[in-house]
Chain A
Amino acid sequence: MIQQAAGIMAAFLELTHIMCPLGWEKPLNYVIEMLDIWKEFPGIVANGGITLQVKEGEIHAILGENGAGKSTLMSILFGLYHADKGTIKVRGKEVDIKNPNDAFDLGIGMVHQHFQLVHNFTVAENIIMGKEGGFVYDIKKASRKIKEISERYGLSIEPDMVIEDITVGMQQRVEILKMLYRDADILIFDEPTAVLTPQEIDELMQIMKNLAAEGKSIILITHKLDEIKAVADRCTIIRRGKLIDVVDVKTATVEEMAAAMVGRPVSFKVDKKPCKPGKPILEIEHLSVMNSKKVLGVDDFSLTIHGGEIIGLAGVDGNGQTELVEAITGLRKVESGHIKFNGKDITMLSIAERNDMGLGHIPEDRQKRGLILSAPLTSNMVIKKFTKEPFAHHGLLDYAEIKKYSEEIIRKFDVRSGEGADSLAGKLSGGNQQKAIIGREITSDPDLLIAVQPTRGLDVGAIEYIHNQLVEERDKGKAILLVSFELDEIFNLSDKIVVISGGKLIDIVNTSETDEHAVGLMMAGIRKDGGK
């Protein structure tokens, strides 16, 4: 009897084992299907027949270079654009999404790259904004629901915390809560890790897994392959508006995915010769700088950068990097301390004088600071030296010389545009805008090049190119200060890593003698000797 029962049991188990994969195959009823989507803009096919199918409860990554059509595709799903051709099905039913409200009603929520929160409101107030429900709203009831959701997904958010008091990582979780509060079960994350520390990234990854385990479907837009590898189930790769492949992340390698995205094999490691530091170029001595809130943004900061080395400044966004860079370049007044450049005190010099002495700066915000978008490339290329020979004679501009010079930069740095040097800077893609800025700065042959977030929002091909350019400058004996919020980039390029937290220098370490974990802890303000 018992043997028989055991046999039946075994057979049953075997059967369920066989059934199991079938059972997993069953939710072939995709929660989102975008079939053969076409969207054309003047001169550009942004989406040329892209198909995206997201299963229920999966984390689905969309990988593609900038301009590959990821944003267009998501904008179509979110109702910001209307597709020229193609069908969208949500939970098997064909839908017409005309605007973001339609998307909301279908349970589609988006966590934007830039948070949409009111800073002096509490978490609860931010979350119920626009959903107050009637003239008198019940904040207590809302708070209970928020707390409940927060506990269920492990978000650790208290409803009565005020936004400006909490970290960026927590703010992002408030954004996620907002979507969950509105009963969204399809969540789109747009480059969610750009502003987070490594530890916060790990937490976010865990949260995404929790959400998926609870049956939410997640679309993750990113260019960071290791994140896809860490959380995603499947990955749709698009290139130049075309669907290239849909891969199972478990079986695909990072190299394969990168190659599919770019269309050729990519090397992630930058080839560098060993660093040969020369004479000190930039000496910062006990520098203190106020931030815009009139408190010390940089506090008693000292650092020396030599020729021929790349110093990577690591830190979470908003810890004094901007103030430090602005103080060095002259955009911000120094409170106390000194800055020496090539042995000369430049603390009180004007921006133009510093530029002329050989200080190059690739600014953080390329569209706000780096370029005049409404002006042609020609003007932008000579913006720092249009008053000097050969671009001007006795106050009159020499357009021929300006054009020749601009075309030289465009050719050397492969800046692609619609109308060459006469194209308006605003009409270039992000990557080409950045190439133009880097071309302008490097062509001026500076002794010190400050590169702030030089590859933000750029595709792998452009990143590779820019990294190589920076290393090339280093090998020519230039000093380079690299400020980046991406630890990969810092580790890849820097000879030494300087960690800044709360405006203070935490430590200076050799890249070869540290790892991401140690730097991550220092970014949170914890020194390796345990002090704070």
Chain B
Amino acid sequence: MRQKGVINKPLEARTASPLLVSLSAVFLGIIAGCIFILCLGKNPFAGFERILFGALSNTRRIGNTLGMSTQLILIGLSVAFAFKTGLFNIGASGQMLVGGITGSILAYYLPMDMPRFIYLPIIIVAAMLAGAFWGFLSGLLKAKFNVHEVVSTIMLNWIAYWIVYDFIPRFIIDPTISVKSKPIETVHTLRADWLTDLTAFSTLNYGFFLAIIMCVVVWFILQKTTLGFNLKAVGSNRFCAEYAGIKVNRSIMISMAIAGALASLAGLTYYCGYSNIMEMGKMPNEGYDGIAVALLGNCSPIGIFFSAIFFGILKMGRGSLAATGIPTEIADTIIATIIYFTATNVILASFWNRIFHSSFEKKEEAAVKAALSHGDNTPVSQMTKEKFKAYAKEGKALLKEEKEVR
């Protein structure tokens, strides 16, 4: 009955899934946080209760948490997209600034009476194009001059930083506070009245829905399109991709441009939706947090969505920690610890694999025993799953009995 060319897949111990590994990292991070809080002589449960309280206790706080998560989702997607093509985008901060300044300038100069359904697409497309260009520069440098993208993206971060430093006073300065841009009028941000009303004046804005849409778009590109196939091939084995006739350099530039566009969109949601002002001389941290989000989310869009919301909770809830006398840096420490554990996912995976393996071996022993007691000589590797399970259960009982007799 079986398909030709398929050797009967042998029964073997299960292996740790990325989800399990990520959850273990989170768990260990939280344990580490508890230990830190205990060291300070405070109650860790009270601490985590405060974090959850600060992030989720009312609709406004939930809205703020989602508003914060919006950037993290988009940056996470940006980093993950580059990862899939074998590139490390650590320039999300600069790309955010580029998107932010593009959006802010347009918000300042476009006429106020422009209909929103025309205005919003304009700033979204403009910001994404600007970010795509910024990412493309790194790709170009890598493709043409073999400049490593880590180096070029960091450099471009600082170029973006100084461009913003120059552009704020030149185009969009708030004359009363001369280091910040003039706050954008609400009608020119991504905020929407119904969302603001629903969440009691939180920072939640259309950006959140853009982020969800982008999760789907990224998933679609990577899974369903020839472009995604192309990029993933380059990411998994560029030598084979080259041999197969895929233009590796072109793929690197496209991938960096898309990553740049996603990060830039995050900048738009941040500066024209979340904070609505740009400060001179401030590099957004979210660009680096996004790396953690992507790692914890195993670079899959759905994983990134949840890990971004998780980090959003920690980041929003930290403010409330102060009430218990626990320093707010504890939340950052937990994030950092989680990043460490996610980065060492190989160790976590092998830990679980060892546990699965030894439990499988025990079951195997029991199953063999039960099978023999029925006069069945089939080796375990050729049993069906159901049969194996039944035998294992029976064998366990047999072994237990034996022990009791002894």
Contacts and interface: CB of A to CB of B under 8 A. Distances in A.
Interface of A: 42-44, 329, 331, 350-356, 361, 363, 368-375, 379, 383-384, 386-387, 392, 395-397, 407, 410-411, 414-420
B176 interface: no
B43 interface: no
B226 A383 contact: no
A383 B381 CA distance: 34
Nearest to B13: A42
Q: Count chain B CB atoms within 10 A of each CB in A383, A419, A420 and give the residue with the most.
A: A383
B247 interface: yes
Interface of B: 3-7, 9-10, 12-13, 224-227, 229-230, 232-233, 236-237, 239-247, 381
A379 B239 contact: no
B12 A372 contact: no
Given A375-B236, A386-B226, A420 B5 contact: yes
Contacts of B236: 372-375
A307 to B, nearest CB: 23
Contacts of A387: 226, 230
Contacts of B3: 420
A420 B233 contact: no
Given A43-B9, A369-B240, 13 more contacts: A350-B247, A352-B247, A355-B245, A369-B243, A372-B241, A383-B233, A384-B245, A386-B230, A397-B229, A414-B5, A415-B5, A416-B5, A418-B6
B60 to A, nearest CB: 42
Contacts of B246: 352, 383
B245 A370 contact: no
B224 A396 contact: yes
Contacts of B241: 372, 383
A371 B233 CA distance: 10
A384 B232 CA distance: 14
19 contacts: A351-B243, A351-B244, A369-B240, A369-B242, A369-B243, A371-B240, A372-B237, A375-B232, A383-B241, A383-B244, A384-B244, A386-B229, A386-B230, A397-B224, A397-B225, A410-B5, A417-B7, A418-B6, A418-B7
Nearest to B237: A372
Given A43-B10, A43-B381, A372-B236, A379 B247 contact: no
Contact of A372 (B6, B7, B233, B381): B233
A199 to B, nearest CB: 33
B229 A352 contact: no
Contacts of B224: 396-397
A411 B5 contact: yes
A42 B225 contact: no
Contacts of B232: 375
Contacts of B10: 42-44
Q: Count chain A CB atoms within 10 A of each CB in B6, B227, B237 and give the residue with the most.
A: B237
Contacts of A352: 245-247
A403 to B, nearest CB: 12
B93 to A, nearest CB: 30
B225 A396 contact: yes
Contacts of A361: 243
Q: Count chain A CB atoms within 10 A of each CB in B224, B237, B243 and give the residue with the most.
A: B243
A353 B244 CA distance: 11
Q: Count chain B CB atoms within 10 A of each CB in A43, A363, A415 and give the residue with the most.
A: A43
Given A370-B243, A379-B233, A417 B6 contact: yes
A375 B229 CA distance: 10
B164 to A, nearest CB: 36
B57 to A, nearest CB: 44
Nearest to B12: A42
Contact of B6 (A373, A395, A420): A420
A491 to B, nearest CB: 28
Q: Count chain B CB atoms within 10 A of each CB in A350, A361, A418 and give the residue with the most.
A: A418
Given A42-B10, A43-B381, A373 B237 contact: yes
B245 A350 contact: yes
A419 B6 contact: yes
B245 A363 contact: no
B369 to A, nearest CB: 18
Contacts of A368: 237, 239-240
Contacts of A397: 224-226, 229
Contacts of A42: 10, 12-13
Contacts of A369: 239-240, 242-243
Given A42-B12, A419-B9, A331 B233 contact: no
A379 B229 contact: yes
A418 B233 contact: no
